[in-house]
């Protein structure tokens, strides 16, 4: 029975094709309007029958992800959630190997690289599904894929962080980082290790060309791996200013009492979308759909708010009353970012280190 419905689902690309699914959607819509109990949701009923959900996620750090998982379990009892949280690229590489070996473990994939999904879509590894609650997303991020194969799962901002005890006037733009006073004071991640930094390199080259990278290299930045290392370097006192720094994570550390703060550069914070999709051969497709839809719930956005992440709903403000509208941001768009990323990394290696 399961096998049958799954096969049918695979055939229905681009459309919401099965009675089961439309039932789920109707249920979700109904719950929004009538605030009926989740117990009546047919998608939940189907998911509960599957009883399990396996998440391969690289978006959000362990703690936030665990809170989301726990909230899901609380709201939808009877579904056992296995969360594999590793770096986005690791998770993706593993998924690819599983697919090559005919192993189908993963239900929902969540990583920080859109390219993963264009690739998976190409090989038919994703299932189409329209999460009803996605209507609450900020308009700019809705309908990421016209075929509904993947959706926004996280919003991350790349910015500048600094040590407020040591820096009274932090650089307020990417250009300001090139001033002499920051020579030998900057820490950053590596585009070869960090998707966010790679994304930043692409954006900065689009804005200012390779001259920026050349001048940036002359500033002798300390290049770590992940952009999280900027926080570490600032907290330890090794460097005082971080470039390509994680906006949310810096605020989390600040809230924990650490002497660190963040600046949204006037020449645009670089926005990167975390993406999520349901696997075509997911062993628990309904649970995966239920989880995807859950991402756009108030519960999740409140968790994100608490952990200083941009929320996934227009009606839930960010922590400390921030919002997307308050800052200038830029997102790399384009159908084929792959070569541009590779070129950016190569230029970085040539000009920065």
Q: Which residues bind another protein (CB under 8 A)?
A: 54, 61-63, 66, 82-87, 89-90, 92-94, 96-98, 101-103, 105, 113, 115-116, 119, 190, 192-193, 222-226, 228-229, 231-239, 246, 249, 253, 256-260, 338, 341-342, 345, 349, 353
Cβ distance to another protein smaller for residue 64 or 286: 64
Cβ distance to another protein smaller for residue 21 or 231: 231
Residue by residue, DSSP assigns 9-26 as: HHH--SS---HHHHHHHH
C-beta of 111: minimal distance to another protein in Å? 10
C-beta of 257: minimal distance to another protein in Å? 4
CA–CA separation, 67 vs 339, rounded Å? 36
CA–CA separation, 18 vs 246, rounded Å? 41
Cβ distance to another protein smaller for residue 119 or 145: 119
Q: Phi and psi of 336, rounded to 5°?
A: -130, 80
Instruction: With both helix axes pointing from N to C terminus, report the angle between 285-294 and 19-34 in degrees, rounded to the nearest 10.
Output: 30
Alpha-carbon Rg for the chain, nearest whole angstrom, is 21
C-beta of 315: minimal distance to another protein in Å? 28
Cβ distance to another protein smaller for residue 222 or 314: 222
C-beta of 139: minimal distance to another protein in Å? 28
Cβ distance to another protein smaller for residue 86 or 266: 86
C-beta of 162: minimal distance to another protein in Å? 12
Contact 308, 155 (CB under 8 A): no
CA–CA separation, 81 vs 54, rounded Å? 6
Measured CA distances, 30 to 21, 108, 239, 323 (Å): 14, 24, 53, 29
Cβ distance to another protein smaller for residue 105 or 299: 105
C-beta of 346: minimal distance to another protein in Å? 9
């Amino acid at each position: 029975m399961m096998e049958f419905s799954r096969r049918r689902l695979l055939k229905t690309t681009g459309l919401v094709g099965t009675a089961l699914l439309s039932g789920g959607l109707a249920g979700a819509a109904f719950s929004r309007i009538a605030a009926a109990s989740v117990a009546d949701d047919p998608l939940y009923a189907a998911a509960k029958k599957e009883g399990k959900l396996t998440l391969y996620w690289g978006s959000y750090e362990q703690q936030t992800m665990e809170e989301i998982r726990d909230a899901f379990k609380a709201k939808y009892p009877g579904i056992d959630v296995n969360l594999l949280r590793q770096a986005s690229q690791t998770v993706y590489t593993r998924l690819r190997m599983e697919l090559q070996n005919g192993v189908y473990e993963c239900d929902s994939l969540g990583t920080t690289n859109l390219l993963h999904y264009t690739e998976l879509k190409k090989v038919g590894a994703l299932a189409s599904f329209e999460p009803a609650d996605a209507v609450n997303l900020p308009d700019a991020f809705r309908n990421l894929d016209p075929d509904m194969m993947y959706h926004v799962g996280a919003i991350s901002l790349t910015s500048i962080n600094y040590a407020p005890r040591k820096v009274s006037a932090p650089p307020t733009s990417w250009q300001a980082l090139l001033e002499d006073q920051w020579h030998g004071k900057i820490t950053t991640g590596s585009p070869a290790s960090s998707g966010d930094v790679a994304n930043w390199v692409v954006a900065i080259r689009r804005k200012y060309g390779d001259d920026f990278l050349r001048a940036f290299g002359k500033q002798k930045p300390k290049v770590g791996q992940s952009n999280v290392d900027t926080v570490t370097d600032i907290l330890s006192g090794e460097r005082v200013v971080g470039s390509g720094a994680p906006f949310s994570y810096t605020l989390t550390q600040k809230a924990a009492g650490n002497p660190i703060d963040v600046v949204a550069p006037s020449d645009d914070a670089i926005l990167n979308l975390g993406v999520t999709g349901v696997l075509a051969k997911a062993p628990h497709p309904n649970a995966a759909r239920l989880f995807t839809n859950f991402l756009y719930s108030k519960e999740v956005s409140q968790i994100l708010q608490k952990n200083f992440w941009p929320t996934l709903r227009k009606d839930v403000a960010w922590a400390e009353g921030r919002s997307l509208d308050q800052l200038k941001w830029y997102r790399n768009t384009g159908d084929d970012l792959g070569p541009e990323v590779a070129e950016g990394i190569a230029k970085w290696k040539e000009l920065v280190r």
